[in-house]
Structure 1
Amino acid sequence: MGAKVSIGDFAVMTSLSRKALRHYHDIGILEPAHIDVHTGYRFYDTSQVDHAHIIRRFRALGMSIPDIKALLSADDAAARTDIITTHLAQMEEQLQQTRDTVGALRELLSPVRTPAHVEVRHEPALAVWSIGATIDTSEIDSWFGATLTTLRDAVATAEGAPTAVVPGGLYERALFLESRGRATLFVPAPQSAVPPDGVRAEVLPKAEFAVLTHPGGHDGIDRSYAALGIYANEHLISDQGPIREHYLGSTLATPTAFTATEICWPIFSTTPPP
């Protein structure tokens, strides 16, 4: 044991305010060495200084109170290392999120630019296997992954299944307007095969689109949507049909790991199909 010091001196020694010291006392992670029964004054021991520094440093680094409690109560080095390593991983993830946010904000400082290449494309009628649902936009990521995996499994077990497919999606305008609407994922139908339960066989009608390829996954795809929409409305005649997407670079083994997304904005026919 060291020497007993007043809460004022202990605050100076540890850079913890009186309010913080009282709070840490109340929640049981830094209790005073002695409390005067007559005055209620708190006194600390100089041996508690390192303990207080650990709390202050880790709180400054964003560690939660329960994790700090677990860290201080851990008896072996392995347990302490595991807590610190977990927190470090969380900090690194938050740092990457901050970097991504900063990059996105910097991009927003520039106006949406005219895309380098927009293709006007006639899509012929296409026989597909599809799964559709009416969903909220908050559900779309989880629905997308589960549905695409279901379609992959259906195609993979079909007789004469192709070794590679380009899955796609159809998104009704209500999803954008009301944050709830119809979404459909599809894959080209295997020849001479019957879809399993829960998968629908249908034919997508022929249509004309303005097409822009967005590289990578869906990060930043809102800017590509904006650029394509501006082009379609300024240079073509926009149709109000569903937006179509094609997911390029995926495989049957990894259907959600695509390398680019073709965004297909429906337009009214401008030229006769080839």
Structure 2
Amino acid sequence: MGARVSIGDFAVMTSLSRKALRHYHDIGILEPAHIDSHTGYRFYDTGQVDSAHIIRRFRSLGMSIPDIKALLSTDDAAARTEIITTHLEQMEEQLQQTRDAVGALRELLAPVRTPAHVELRHEPALAVWSIGATIEVSEIDGWFGATLGRLRDAVAAAAIAPSWVVPGGLYDRALFLESRGRATLFVAAPPSADPPDGVRAEVLPQAEFAVLTHSGGHDGIDRSYGALGIHVNEHLISDQGPIREHYIGSTPSDPYGFTATEICWPIFSTTPPRG
């Protein structure tokens, strides 16, 4: 045991305010060494200074109260190391998220530029297997993963090599305008096979598109959409049909690891339709 000190002196030694010390007392992670039964004054022991510094430092670094409590309540070095290591990993992840956000914000300072290459493409009618739903924009990531898995399972059951499958998506304008609308994922229909329950066989009609390839994952795809939309509306005639996407670069071992997304913006063609 060290010397008993008043809450005022303890606050000076630890840089913890009276309010903070009372809060930590109430939640049971730093209790006073003694409370005067007549005055209610709190007194601390100088041996508690190190614990107070740990609490203050880790709270400033965002560690949760339960984790701090666990850290202070164990003498097991391995357990302490695990708690601290886990928190450091969380901080590193948050730091990377912050760096990504800063990079995205800096990019926003530059105007959306006309893409270097926009391809005009005629897509012929295509027999597909598809799964569609009316969803909220906030649901789209979970829906996408689950639906793509169902389509891949359906194709695999039809004995078609997974490497042949290049999935695509159709997204109604309402999803962008109202944050709720129809979304459909599709794959080219396997030959001479009937789709399983829950999977629809249909034919996508032929259409004309302006196509821009967005490299990488989904991050920053809004900028690619903006650039393609500017090009279409400044140089072509935009059609109000659904936006079409093709997901490129996945492999059987990494079916969700797309390396690029083709964004297909429907346009009115000034040339006669082919075949």
Please say whether Structure 1 and Structure 2 have the same fold, judged by a TM-score greater than 0.5: yes
Offset from partner CA, 1:75-115 (integer Å, 9 cap, x none): 31122111111111111111111011000100000010010
Partner of 1:34: 34
Offset from partner CA, 1:16-35 (integer Å, 9 cap, x none): 11111111111111111111
Alignment of 1:56-205 (within 5 A): 56-161=56-161, 163-205=163-205
> Over the residues paired in the alignment, what is the CA RMSD in angstroms?
1.2
**How far 1:273 moved relative to its partner?**
4.2
**How far 1:238 moved relative to its partner?**
0.4
Normalised by the length of structure 2, the TM-score is 0.97
**How far 1:55 moved relative to its partner?**
0.3
Structure 1 counterpart of 2:122, one-letter code: H
Offset from partner CA, 1:197-232 (integer Å, 9 cap, x none): 111111100000000000011110000001001111
User: After TM superposition, what 4+ stretches of structure 1 lie above 3 angstroms from structure 2?
Assistant: 159-163
In the aligned structure 2, how far is the partner of 1:254 from the partner of 1:113? 32
Q: Structure 1: 5+ residue runs without aligned partners? A: none
Matched-pair identity in %: 86
Partner of 1:232: 232
Partner of 1:13: 13
Normalised by the length of structure 1, the TM-score is 0.97
Shift in alpha-carbon separation, 1:78–1:200, aligned structure 2, 3 A: same
In the aligned structure 1, how far is the partner of 2:160 from the partner of 2:107? 46
SS for the counterpart of 1:209 is: strand
**How far 1:161 moved relative to its partner?**
4.5
Q: How many matched pairs?
A: 274
Greater shift in the superposed pair: 149-158 or 105-114: 149-158
SS for the counterpart of 2:211 is: strand
